[in-house]
Amino acid sequence: MATLRSWREIPHGGVAFRLSTDVKTGDWRALRPVIDQSKCTKCMICWLFCPDMSIIWDGEKVFVNYDYCKGCGICAHECPVKAITMVPEVRE
């Protein structure tokens, strides 16, 4: 059974003191969504469901803004034609 602790005993968490547009919050992503452009019908359902507004439509194709995408996989789950695949994030 978990031991109850007061707020004074809880470890400090991270807080971003700058605008979210200044802080690249996608850097802890473990999985990366990759869109297969040959399958994408540009229905924008992924845009509708993305909780981070990381799906972009540039007038020609749909792509992911990896600066902010958290890799939650909701877009891949909701894509009706399964054009999005979640792949392991690789960092150099």
Name which position in 25, 34, 45, 85 contacts ligand SF4 (CB under 6 A): 45
- Work out whether 40 is an interface residue with ligand SF4 (CB under 6 A): yes
Strand partners, 33: 86
Least gap, CB of 65 to ligand SF4 (angstroms): 8
In degrees to the nearest 10, what's the CA dihedral of 73, 75, 78, 80? -120
Question: Which residue, 36, 61, 65, 38, is CA-closest to 50?
Answer: 65
Only segment of 5-13, 15-23, 46-54 that touches ligand SF4 (CB under 6 A): 46-54
Only segment of 5-13, 17-25, 79-87 that touches ligand SF4 (CB under 6 A): 79-87
Q: 46 vs 4, 5, 14, 51, CA distance in Å?
A: 40, 40, 29, 10
The residues of the shown chain that bind ligand SF4, judged by CB under 6 A, are 33, 35, 40-46, 50, 52, 54-55, 62, 64, 69-75, 79, 81, 83-84
